[in-house]
Amino acid sequence: MWDFILASGNLPFSLAFVLVCAIGLLQLLSLLLGLGLSELIDTALPDLDIDNPGFFANGFNWLCLGRLPFLIWLLLWLLLFAIIGWTLQWLLMNLLGGLLPPLPVAIAALAVSLPLQRRLSLLLVKLLPTTETNAVFQRELIGLVGEVVIGEASRERAAEVSVTDKQGHKHYVMAKPYDDLVLSQGQQVLLFDLEEGIYLVSPYPG
């Protein structure tokens, strides 16, 4: 089995699976440290304007980019790509007696994985209605009140804050105070600005 997985013809698919494991470990480590790796990446990425017509916008929308947290979307695609690639090479090995070069099989795996990615992403969007997957721009959360849920926010270290948008969808974002205050878990905060993907907040008196 390991000879098959580590064969040169399976290199792209094995690398994809290694990335899945590495990202999963990083996410687990970030949670143990009181950080939200997925939320941090989402806030650092630029907005995807999927609502305006255009070639790229239509492509992003079809792939459900911007409708799922990017890390979940990436993990799902990498896993699909690896499984489909291994399956294709296994079938070809049994039919032809050997593995094909990785490039044509990788192209075929990509072509098969993207439609499956879309279907599974649409399913996850329905199953995860309360995550940061809803199509709102980051700046639309400014002016809303949230709550520190993971970590302790200071000027030097951001913490995870949950905030509910005007449509009633809950988002998890990284935030820190604008001054030398320290905000504890459970404290309510007001999001008033966005700086390099991190929200600036102040204590909310309510």
Report the C-alpha gap between 77 and 59 in whole angstroms.
15
Instruction: Pull the structure tokens for residue 161.
Output: 């804050």
Instruction: Pull the structure tokens for residue 63.
Output: 């792939």
pLDDT of residue 204: 84
Instruction: Pull the structure tokens for residue 62.
Output: 């079809």
Tell me phi and psi for residue 143, to 5 degrees: 95, -5
pLDDT of residue 179: 80
pTM over the 0.75 mark: no
| Residue with the larger pLDDT of the pair 22 and 2 | 22
Q: Render pLDDT for 13-52 as a digit per residue (tens, 0 to 9).
A: 999 999 999 988 988 887 776 666 666 666 666 555 545 5
Q: Render pLDDT for 130-141 as a digit per residue (tens, 0 to 9).
A: 444 344 457 778
Contact of 163 with 173, CB cutoff 8 Å: yes
Q: Render pLDDT for 42-80 as a digit per residue (tens, 0 to 9).
A: 666 655 554 554 556 567 777 777 677 788 889 999 999
| Residue with the larger pLDDT of the pair 178 and 93 | 93
What own/partner pairs with CB < 8 Å and gap ≥ 24 does 151-158 have?
A: 151/34, 151/35, 151/185, 152/34, 152/182, 152/183, 152/184, 152/185, 153/177, 153/182, 153/183, 153/189, 153/201, 154/180, 154/181, 154/182, 154/183, 155/179, 155/180, 155/181, 158/35, 158/40, 158/198
Instruction: Pull the structure tokens for residue 128.
Output: 């995860």
Residues paired with 110 in a beta bridge: none
The secondary structure element, H or E, covering residue 191 is: strand 188-195
